[in-house]
Amino acid sequence: MEHFQIAIDGPSGSGKSTLARSVARTLGILYLDTGAMYRACGLKALDLGIDPKDEPRISSMLENLRLDILFEQGSQRVILDGEDVTERIRMPGVSVAASDISSLRPVRERMVQMQRQIAGKRNVVLDGRDIGSYVLPSAPFKFFLTADPEERAKRRLEEMAVRGVIDLTFEAVLADLKYRDHQDSTRSFAPLVRTPDAIVIDTTSNTPEETLAQLLSYLPEEVRSGSGSGDAS
């Protein structure tokens, strides 16, 4: 098998990023966190005081956007205008800005162009909301993760606590997730959608290890063993 792509889609908090990292580590391939790219765009808008929904001003912002994705020792670093913002893009407020700004066609076209360039050069696993439907419609392996909203909110709250953010409430996080779900699934361009050829995995009651095992069970032996991995650098 030549270079292959694994697409993992699903709503916020369904476990996409955790799963994608585990898949990449297990198979020895690259993980590209596409959500981080949109978060970087949202962060830049916030820093400049631009409404993430203001398409004309965001389009102008993109003209001066310098976004680089670096891979160091198996991890992804996000460099925005020369600054490493890998940690800043995970802060409260950025997720909503990312959801708003990602609904704009100029933003998605710019980011998707970068994502396709990276995915065309090596074996890769990508997670997002439109990977299998729009970014990599020809990906041979597509998965769609789901989970109950309350469970997703619980996970996100625990994730933020690990990052030192402890002033969030469960209700606020749940409301944020529901906002993103609606925004992502109803946007006119490249919305969150499950393609007919995507395998659905409900992670509500799963441990991360169980979800990983479930996904790997759907991959052919040549991919699981690495014999069909081609250039995984």
**CATH code, domain carrying 57:** 3.40.50.300
3-state secondary structure of 227: coil
Q: What are the pLDDT tens digits along the chain (233 aa)? A: 578 999 999 998 999 999 999 999 999 898 998 889 999 999 999 999 999 999 999 999 999 999 998 888 767 899 999 999 999 999 878 989 998 999 899 999 999 999 998 898 889 999 999 999 999 999 999 999 999 999 999 999 998 898 888 888 999 999 999 998 998 899 888 889 999 999 999 999 999 999 999 999 999 999 988 755 444 44
Contact, 143 vs 198, CB < 8 A?
Answer: yes
Give strand ranges (E) for 81-202.
83-84, 124-128, 141-146, 199-202
3-state secondary structure of 233: coil
231 in any annotated domain: no
Contact, 124 vs 6, CB < 8 A?
Answer: yes
Domain tally, the chain: 1
191 in any annotated domain: yes
DSSP β-ladder status, 67-72 and 75-80: antiparallel
Domain span at 122: 5-217
Give strand ranges (E) for the chain.
5-9, 30-33, 67-72, 75-80, 83-84, 124-128, 141-146, 199-202
160 in any annotated domain: yes
Nearest to 155 by CA among 14, 36, 34: 14
Kind and range of the H or E run holding 38:
helix 34-48
227 in any annotated domain: no
Kind and range of the H or E run holding 98:
helix 94-102
Contact, 191 vs 185, CB < 8 A?
Answer: yes
Q: What are φ and ψ of residue 31, in 5° steps? A: -110, 125
11 in any annotated domain: yes
3-state secondary structure of 101: helix
176 in any annotated domain: yes
Tell me the CA end-to-end span of the chain in Å, nearest whole number. Answer: 15
224 in any annotated domain: no
225 in any annotated domain: no
